[in-house]
Chain A
């Protein structure tokens, strides 16, 4: 069996759970594959929930979040385990 290709994601961190869930709604409204995940420590000072999207959707996700009232506290790239 060949090893699975690692999947790459963009992960967005937020100051509050409210913002994280608002972001999930905003991204899903645009048909992006947003998933709440435990916040990676690399994201720094953010709430316990981060939102992950496939890396190929990262640009669109940034555009959606920038046009909303939601403040993105931090962003990182993440490789699936």
Chain B
């Protein structure tokens, strides 16, 4: 492996000539750039093998099946999943949450949801509510934190089929006490479905220790894979209905019913082979460097957080500096709207940051920013100190 594969690229390497972006601070939306090993893995899948996996048994198809097998094993090992067959490749975390929610909840069931959820949860729940699922909410505090005791009370209030909660907020960066939430939900007889879009790669995620019944992850954020691929863990003892049926290359092809064996039951249709190749490479890369990446992400996130507060006029959402958070910092300014700030950062400084509601109006309502939205900086494996200092200088120049 060359040094360019193992080290974050320098700032000039990350300058994007096509867009003028020189400082990328939107890792919470998607990580960029991708490591060279991810690019290479996608390229190899597209050029050196890539037969339809699990269908034919000729060398190109077996090679693709082998790559998917190896990627699944790598992801399972990284995430603490004992049996890789319980880890499903899907198009992303959104599909994973849809599968878990719609596959486990039926009309008449009650689900307890947290007020900080992303639209990947809010919209499926709204759809389910229109079909007779009862949705009750647990409110966060002003920092976006969900109190496990509040979850416990909500579960105790009425028979509950499931609790759904994020592991970390894409708006406030708040890390939820997910293990405690799982414990109180299970004690009350409820399943637990977790949205792990912001946690994978940025936090140590051990699914055996967490104990959730379903846990969905984005493949293209902290796990550094390409867009269009994600993961869903399903505990061995639950059997959600599959969202779609179709060819799997397995089961009795002459029968019209979907096979029940995992992972095939939930992976109908030709899989996203290049995406899975890239995700497998991304997970191996993260695993190799995770201690360095996380320490640096946390250090730079704190520097950005404190630096923004030093400028004045800003409110930072979520936990205080030094308290646990995933590597994102969302802010509002007393005078200038978030969308204007984002526009000026992009046009004047080539800084990519995201303004608005971040597909999470529930979360913004919970912390009081639904009307104005916020400006979010998402840090990741490629973020350099100079990126943070450039952003701080730009914010100071724009606002003072």
Chain A residue, CB-CB nearest to B59: A36
Q: Looking at the assembled complex, report how far the CB atom of A5 sits from the nearest CB atom of chain B, in whole angstroms.
A: 25
Residue of B56, B69, B252 touching A45 (CB-CB under 8 A): B252
CA A34 – CA B53 in complex, angstroms? 19
Q: Chain A contacts of B313 at CB under 8 A?
A: none
Q: Which residues 46-70 of A sit at the B interface, judged by CB distance below 8 A?
A: 46-50, 69
Question: Interface size (B, Cβ < 8 Å)?
Answer: 27
Q: Decide yes or no whether A18 CB sits under 8 A from chain B.
A: yes
CA A49 – CA B69 in complex, angstroms? 13
Q: Chain A contacts of B259 at CB under 8 A?
A: 15-16
* CB atoms of B83 and A48 under 8 A apart: no
Q: Decide yes or no whether B287 CB sits under 8 A from chain A.
A: no
CA A19 – CA B65 in complex, angstroms? 11
Given contacts A45-B251, A49-B62, contact A18 B57 (CB under 8 A): no
Residue of B58, B85, B249 touching A47 (CB-CB under 8 A): B249
Question: Interface size (A, Cβ < 8 Å)?
Answer: 20
Residue of A18, A20, A45, A49 touching B84 (CB-CB under 8 A): A18
Q: Chain B contacts of A20 at CB under 8 A?
A: 65
* CB atoms of A48 and B250 under 8 A apart: yes
**Total of A-B residue pairs, C-beta within 8 Å:** 67
Given contacts A15-B261, A18-B72, contact A48 B85 (CB under 8 A): no
Q: Chain A contacts of B131 at CB under 8 A?
A: none
Q: Chain B contacts of A18 at CB under 8 A?
A: 68-69, 72, 84-85, 263-264
The 0/1 profile, CB within 8 Å of B marked 1, for residues 1-45 of chain A is 000000000000001111111100000000000001111000011
Chain A residue, CB-CB nearest to B72: A18
* CB atoms of A16 and B263 under 8 A apart: yes
Interface of A is mostly: mixed
Given contacts A21-B65, A45-B252, contact A16 B57 (CB under 8 A): no
Q: Chain A contacts of B68 at CB under 8 A?
A: 17-18
Given contacts A47-B264, A48-B57, contact A17 B69 (CB under 8 A): yes
Q: Chain B contacts of A15 at CB under 8 A?
A: 250-251, 259, 261, 264
Q: Looking at the assembled complex, report how far the CB atom of B391 sits from the nearest CB atom of chain A, in whole angstroms.
A: 44
CA A30 – CA B300 in complex, angstroms? 48
* CB atoms of A36 and B251 under 8 A apart: no
Q: Chain A contacts of B255 at CB under 8 A?
A: 45
Residue of A22, A37, A47 touching B54 (CB-CB under 8 A): A47
Q: Looking at the assembled complex, report how far the CB atom of A80 sits from the nearest CB atom of chain B, in whole angstroms.
A: 15
Residue of B56, B69, B85, B263 touching A38 (CB-CB under 8 A): B56
CA A45 – CA B62 in complex, angstroms? 19
Chain B residue, CB-CB nearest to A17: B54
Interface residues of chain B, those whose CB is within 8 Å of chain A, are 53-58, 61-62, 65-66, 68-69, 72, 83-85, 248-252, 255, 259, 261-264
> A16-B54, A48-B249 given. 10 additional CB < 8 A pairs?
A16-B85, A16-B261, A18-B85, A21-B65, A37-B57, A38-B58, A47-B264, A48-B61, A49-B65, A50-B57
Q: List 29 A-B contacts (CB under 8 A).
A: A15-B250, A15-B264, A16-B54, A16-B248, A16-B261, A16-B262, A17-B65, A17-B249, A18-B68, A18-B72, A18-B263, A19-B85, A38-B56, A38-B57, A38-B58, A39-B57, A44-B252, A45-B255, A47-B54, A47-B248, A47-B251, A48-B54, A48-B56, A48-B57, A48-B61, A48-B250, A49-B57, A49-B62, A49-B65
**Which 10 pairs between the two chains have the least Cβ-Cβ distance?**
A45-B252, A17-B54, A47-B250, A15-B261, A38-B57, A21-B69, A48-B249, A16-B264, A17-B65, A49-B57
